[in-house]
Amino acid sequence: MTDETSTGIDVSTLYIVPTPIGNLGDITLRAIEVLKQVDIIAAEDTRHTGKLLSHFGITTRTVALHDHNEQQKMEFLIEKLCSGLSVALVSDAGTPLISDPGYHLVSRCRQQNVKVIPLPGPCAVITALSASGLPSDRFTFEGFLPPKTKGRRDKFAQIADDPRTLIFYESPHRILDALNDMLHELGADRQVVLARELTKTFETIHGAPLGELISWLGEDRNRVRGEMVLLVAGHRPNKDDLPLEARKALRLISKDLPLKKAAAITAELFAVKKNALYKWGLENIDE
């Protein structure tokens, strides 16, 4: 174990400070010290962060830095940093930049040789993955899903063959639609885990094959409430699987030709079995 407990603040430095995703006890000692000692806290929502700061007796000045003013506020913050001040960047919850503002500021600081010091801390994607029971050696975080069915289905079709664990953020209003779109593209057997209200009173981490998970959610409205992370097992190849490109081609060709004919052409193009393609088309393509 290392014993690096220094909390001195460096001048002209941007600190990236994660904050709790629910349970206030998850803030780190170092985060509290940094937030107390920096000259300015750049916060996604100053009122929201103000409550956290007053809970920990922190009186540092805050300025707003959100998606709509990041470009403009960035100039102000860079100027302060270059003049010797220290700044902490926080978002409403969890780690800044992870589906939260801050990318432009950090990128600009690094271009201008302004020192950036990241603090480790709460992050919903990592917290959910650690308890999901899904493989954690390789995973891909996809952020928020597109808001509409077409975008979601395209997204799921693109990543259907990815062998890594797939992780998404999703809102409770859209979760059932999103899962039904996933069912359309990935089938009912794919293992899915829904992690909701992490670190809070109603924390629930439930895993099941997709078809069963949808039924389970339909049994109780409370199961689709709150903040949630959706984790999906990666694709496990099987010798009868049809290549993604062949399935895409069949979808495209069958728009203009009867499915049987489209399956015959696609089978020849990709050297796969015509009957298997035809059967897949019957199950997955709406005519």
Q: Where does this chain bind ligand SAM (CB under 6 A)? A: 21-22, 91, 93-95, 98-100, 123-125, 169-171, 195-200, 227-229
Q: Nearest distance from residue 81's CB to ligand SAM, in Å? A: 22
Q: Nearest distance from residue 239's CB to ligand SAM, in Å? A: 36
What number of other Cβ atoms are within 10 A of residue 70's Cβ?
19
Is 73 or 174 the residue whose CB approaches ligand SAM more closely?
Answer: 174
Query: What's the Rg (C-alpha) of the chain?
Result: 24
* Alpha carbon distance, N-terminus to C-terminus of the chain: 62
- The helix (H) or strand (E) run that includes residue 40 is strand 40-43
Q: Nearest distance from residue 18's CB to ligand SAM, in Å? A: 7
Q: Nearest distance from residue 168's CB to ligand SAM, in Å? A: 8
- The helix (H) or strand (E) run that includes residue 156 is helix 149-159
179 class by beta-carbon count within 10 Å (0-12 exposed, 13-18 middle, 19+ buried)? buried
Is 127 or 254 the residue whose CB approaches ligand SAM more closely?
Answer: 127
Q: Nearest distance from residue 9's CB to ligand SAM, in Å? A: 23
The residue number with the shortest CB distance to ligand SAM is 94
CA distance 283 to 277: 10
CB-CB contact of 58 with 10 (8 Å) = no
Q: Which of 132, 76, 59, 70 is nearest to 96 (CA)?
A: 70
Is 197 or 212 the residue whose CB approaches ligand SAM more closely?
Answer: 197
CA distance 266 to 146: 29
Is 91 or 132 the residue whose CB approaches ligand SAM more closely?
Answer: 91
* Residue 278 token pair: 């035809």
Is 159 or 193 the residue whose CB approaches ligand SAM more closely?
Answer: 193
What number of other Cβ atoms are within 10 A of residue 130's Cβ?
10
Q: Nearest distance from residue 136's CB to ligand SAM, in Å? A: 16
CB-CB contact of 138 with 163 (8 Å) = yes
- The helix (H) or strand (E) run that includes residue 194 is strand 191-196
Is 101 or 281 the residue whose CB approaches ligand SAM more closely?
Answer: 101
Is 225 or 251 the residue whose CB approaches ligand SAM more closely?
Answer: 225
Q: Nearest distance from residue 44's CB to ligand SAM, in Å? A: 9
Q: Which of 174, 171, 168, 149 is nearest to 230 (CA)?
A: 168
